[in-house]
Structure 1
Amino acid sequence: MLPADFLTGQGGVARLAHLRRAGFTRAQIDHAVDSGLILKHRHGVYRLPQADPDFIRAYELNAAVTCVSAAGHYALWTIRAPDRPHLAASHRRLPAGPLAHRISGNVSTLLPPVLPLKDVLVHCLQCLPELEALVMVECAYNRGETDPDFLRRLLPGARNGRARAVLDLVERGSDSLLETVARVLFRRHGFDVRTQVYLEGIGYVDFLINGCLIVEIDGVGFHLNKPQFKKDIRRNNVGAATGYRVLRYLYEDVLHRPDEMLEQIRLALATPPRTSC
């Protein structure tokens, strides 16, 4: 393995100490720099041209990537990308650009420069709006990587009351962040919501509302998956033929037009079925 290969597996950037611990000699590192395969970013830091900019910034500031900026590293759901890096440091010398989080201990040994998942989730619960924090935590919980009770113990005291309230919303079963957001919206608007319900002849549906209305949530790739598209049309037809009403919503409806979506559901529940055709 070459130094460039090692950096590729670490987000494109690492300290000299990391390269040396990986077994590379100074001669090998210097040769990679002279050959243009890697760049010497600053004293003791080496990177690839395409290195993750948040990782570079973290090494520059003796900090670590955390909160929503670490979501990509852990493949967590996010509603929107951060407009600036979220960095954690044990010192108070972070400049005005990054959004600063506090952490105790030495982060200089981290490779890549990302906090452990538990710290990332604690920071997102303390920092982000409710639904943005919820989808990150619920993604990790559904994969068995964390537990709300464990996170709750890391968030003591009155100042963490809002963060613990988000944990009260966490459930298993959502297949996407859209289902998580929709579930919270539906329940807060007084609907009787059951999730991932199996209906004979139809299969599992995302939501069954008030026992009679099927609501399905389709992600951004819905229309590109032709086999799934055909399957869902057949499921809709079976549902309608067996007496259920069926509504389908897209990414834009859940995240950008929730009031319109909720009003349509209210109308569907309030309107009696036609008695003749």
Structure 2
Amino acid sequence: MTPDYMTRAEILAQGQTRRSIQAAVRSGGLIHVRRDRYLPEGSEDIFVRALRVGGRLTCLSLLALFGVFVLENRRLHVHINPRDGRLRSPSNRKERLDPGSRSGPVIHWTQPLEHPGLSCAVGILDALVHAVCCQTPRAAVATLDSALHLGLITHLQLREVFAALPARFRVLETLVDGRAESGPESLVRLMARVLGCDIRLQVSFDGIGRVDLLLDGWLVVECDSKEFHASWQQQVRDRERDLALAALGYSTLRLTAAKIMYRPDEVLAALRGLVLSRRPV
């Protein structure tokens, strides 16, 4: 998925000449990203930009390409080895990078856990280490949940991630749960934990199917995304499930992914109101 860059020496070793390299760059067969760094034609722009800066793609920028949940991903994230320098603008290899720009790339100056050779991206463990440092605690847990759920890392590798992080982050390890099937589901689980709920994930009901969360043994919480719940047919099926659950004595709260991610205070207030309504005063 992540392309390998080539150096001039490697291209010459393949039988090319200085002139043929120049011709390939002019025709678009090769992309001259920065000094002594070339990428093949068709390489994704996000890798070109990261390599042009002088490092490798990492953190939220890379994880999003793998389908890992990230709450916000607005800037290019680039890993730079501490000994490296000569950083350039992601859009112009001849222009020096302005490190103070708020719209420029986020630079991660760390020693890598993994050494991916000539790859344009760091390894998945390094990307996760950077992502934990770059996000709020709840967003970081949701990202780690997602990586586990997708099978991109094992529980043993999760320990490696936390071993590489500053000690203040290690409390988050106990909160990670790879059973969560979406980032919004992870975020709601963390809210329910704050409320002291008894939490069960991915609970199956005979003849009805699985639900995202079951809180305190009676409140079903479903985290709906536009991707899977936009059609009227799906909405009808959702309501039929809710009716069937109600017949068994369960209440259902349906939340949109957008509301969970961008209006969390409202979601927390709704959860608190429902949960406390059943608890003894």
The partner residue of 1:213 within 197, 211, 219 is 219
Q: Show structure 2 runs of 5+ residues with no match.
A: 88-96
Query: CA 1:92/1:21 → structure 2, altered by over 3 Å: closer, same or farther?
Result: closer
Greater mean deviation of Cα atoms: 73-82 or 181-190: 73-82
Q: 1:109 to 1:17 in 2, by over 3 A?
A: farther
1 CA distance for matches of 2:118 and 2:45?
16
Which residue of 175, 184, 187 corresponds with 1:169? 175
Among candidates 60, 65, 68, match of residue 52 of structure 2: 60
Aligned with 1:137 (options 141, 144, 160) = 144
CA distance in 2, matches of 1:104, 1:232: 46
For the structure 1 residues 166 and 88, does the alpha-carbon distance in structure 2 shift closer, same or farther, using more than 3 Å as the test? farther
**Normalising to structure 1: TM-score of the pair?**
0.78
Q: CA deviation at 1:246?
A: 1.1
Residue 143 of structure 1: how far off its partner (Å): 2.6
Residue 247 of structure 1 is matched in structure 2 by: 253
Shift of 1:35: 3.0
Q: Distance in 2 between matches of 1:241 and 1:105?
A: 53
- Partner Cα separation in structure 1 for residue 233 and residue 13 of structure 2: 46
1:271: how far off? 4.4
Provide the rounded CA distance (Å) in 1 between the counterparts of 2:176 and 2:114: 31
Q: CA deviation at 1:30?
A: 4.5
Name the CA distance, whole Å, in 2 between partners of 1:141 and 1:82.
23
Deviation at 1:72, TM superposition (A): 2.8
- Higher mean C-alpha displacement, 129-138 vs 41-50: 41-50
Shift of 1:205: 0.8
**Amino acid of the residue matched to residue 207 of structure 2?**
G
Q: RMSD value over aligned CA atoms?
A: 3.3
Matches within 5 A, 1:7-18: 10=2, 14-17=5-8
Cα shift at 1:217: 0.5
Q: Secondary structure at the match of 2:175?
A: coil
> Which of residues 7, 22, 25 is equivalent to 2:16?
25
- Range with bigger deviation, 115-124 or 14-23: 14-23
- Superposition pairs for residues 63-82 of structure 1, below 5 Å? 63-82=55-74
Over 3 Å counting, the alpha-carbon distance change for 1:53 and 1:148 in structure 2 is: same
d(CA) in 2 for partners of 1:124, 1:267: 33
- 2:252 alignment partner AA: V
SS at match of 2:226: coil
The Cα shift of 1:206 comes to 0.8
Opposite residue 233 of structure 1, the aligned amino acid is: R
Alpha-carbon shift at residue 63 of structure 1 (Å): 1.6
CA contact (8 A) 2:59 2:77 kept: no
Query: CA separation of 1:270/1:130 partners in 2, compared to 1, >3 Å: closer, same or farther?
Result: closer
Matched residues in 1 for 2:195 and 2:188: separation? Answer: 11
**What corresponds to 2:27 in structure 1?**
35
CA distance in 2, matches of 1:64, 1:39: 16
Q: Which residue, out of 80, 85, 109, partners 1:101?
A: 109
Length-normalised TM-score, structure 2 = 0.77
Query: Which residue pairs with 2:274 in the alignment?
Result: 268
Question: How far apart, CA to CA, are the structure 2 residues paired with 1:130 and 1:22?
Answer: 48
Distance 1:239 1:127 in 2: 40
Return 5+ residue gaps in structure 1 as ranges: 1-8, 273-277
C-alpha change, 1:218 and 1:271, in structure 2 (3 Å) is: same
Is 1:184 the counterpart of 2:184? The answer is no
CA 139–269 in structure 1, closer or farther in 2 if over 3 Å, else same: closer
